[in-house]
């Protein structure tokens, strides 16, 4: 099996474009890449990824991605697994991502969801029937939101699961994993 390409910030734009266009592996990583993924560069990346149906998993951990970039990433068509853990995404960006019905696995752990409308996030998750795994651990969600999301995923099918976590006002609490199955897969 070919190794997953890991994108380094030292690549020229031409090399990056060639690598994405010719990539035949299912997974590509831009994690902690320092590529400055925002604005026109992220729109170009999404267009390139949408032109290569071989790539189904995209790792974008630790890239300081914010809501505007998350909204552009929500336009991905062939990506079924997206890892955006440890970025700067809020509930607003998460809502946009959860609306994308091609995404079956989303990891948004270690983002900051303490501000925003929990009800809109719950509704986006409820409406995306293709979403199978959702990691929201260490995002600062309210306990009631955690219960609601977990219940939505439990009702769909036994193998669906969600990992969620929360903060309290004094200090970070241990991540709580709520799973509808015994085999929750944290796809990091």
What is the DSSP secondary-structure string of 97-111? HHT-TT-SEEE-TTS
Task: Note whether residue 8 is domain-resident.
Answer: no
- Residue pLDDT, tens place only, 125-163: 999 999 988 999 999 998 899 889 988 888 876 555 555
Q: What angle do CA 163, 168, 169 make, to 5 degrees?
A: 155
* pLDDT surpassing 50 at residue 165: no
The first and second tokens of residue 10, run together, are 């030292």
Task: Note whether residue 184 is domain-resident.
Answer: no
Check residues 41 and 75 and name the one with the higher pLDDT: 75
**What percentage of the chain carries pLDDT values higher than 90?**
42
* pLDDT surpassing 70 at residue 180: no
Task: Note whether residue 146 is domain-resident.
Answer: yes
pLDDT at 120: 95
Instruction: Work out how many domains the chain is built from and give that number.
Output: 1
- Residue pLDDT, tens place only, 83-107: 999 999 999 999 999 999 999 999 9
Which range of residues forms the domain containing residue 90?
13-179
pLDDT at 132: 85
Task: Note whether residue 29 is domain-resident.
Answer: yes
Q: What angle do CA 122, 123, 129 make, to 5 degrees?
A: 100
pLDDT at 188: 28
Give the C-alpha separation, 92 to 169, whole Å: 22
Q: What angle do CA 77, 79, 82 make, to 5 degrees?
A: 130
Positive/negative CA dihedral, 40, 89, 55, 123? negative
Kindly state the average pLDDT of the residues 4-29: 65
Kindly state the average pLDDT of the residues 47-71: 91
* pLDDT surpassing 90 at residue 38: no
The pTM (predicted TM-score) of the whole model is 0.77
In order, the DSSP letters of 30-48 are: -TT------HHHHHHHHHH
Task: Note whether residue 2 is domain-resident.
Answer: no
Give the C-alpha separation, 44 to 129, whole Å: 28
Give the C-alpha separation, 3 to 45, whole Å: 21
Task: Note whether residue 186 is domain-resident.
Answer: no
Task: Note whether residue 4 is domain-resident.
Answer: no
Give the C-alpha separation, 106 to 100, whole Å: 10
Domain CATH number, residue 158:
3.80.10.10
Task: Note whether residue 70 is domain-resident.
Answer: yes
């Amino acid at each position: 099996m070919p190794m997953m390409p890991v994108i380094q910030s030292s690549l020229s734009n031409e090399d990056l474009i060639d690598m994405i266009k010719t990539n035949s592996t299912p997974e590509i990583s831009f994690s902690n890449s320092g590529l400055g993924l925002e604005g026109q560069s992220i729109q170009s990346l999404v267009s390139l990824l949408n032109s290569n149906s071989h790539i189904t998993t995209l790792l974008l951990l630790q890239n300081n991605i914010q809501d505007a970039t998350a909204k552009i990433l929500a336009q991905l068509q062939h990506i079924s697994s997206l890892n955006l853990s440890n970025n700067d995404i809020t509930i607003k960006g998460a809502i946009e991502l959860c609306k994308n019905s091609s995404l079956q696995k989303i990891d948004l752990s270690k983002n900051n969801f303490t501000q925003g409308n929990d009800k809109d996030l719950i509704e986006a998750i409820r409406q995306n029937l293709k979403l199978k795994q959702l990691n929201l651990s260490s995002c600062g969600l309210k306990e009631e939101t955690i219960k609601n999301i977990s219940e939505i995923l439990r009702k769909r099918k036994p193998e669906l699961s969600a990992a969620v976590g929360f903060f309290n006002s004094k200090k970070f609490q241990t991540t709580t994993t709520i799973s509808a199955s015994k085999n929750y897969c944290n796809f990091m």
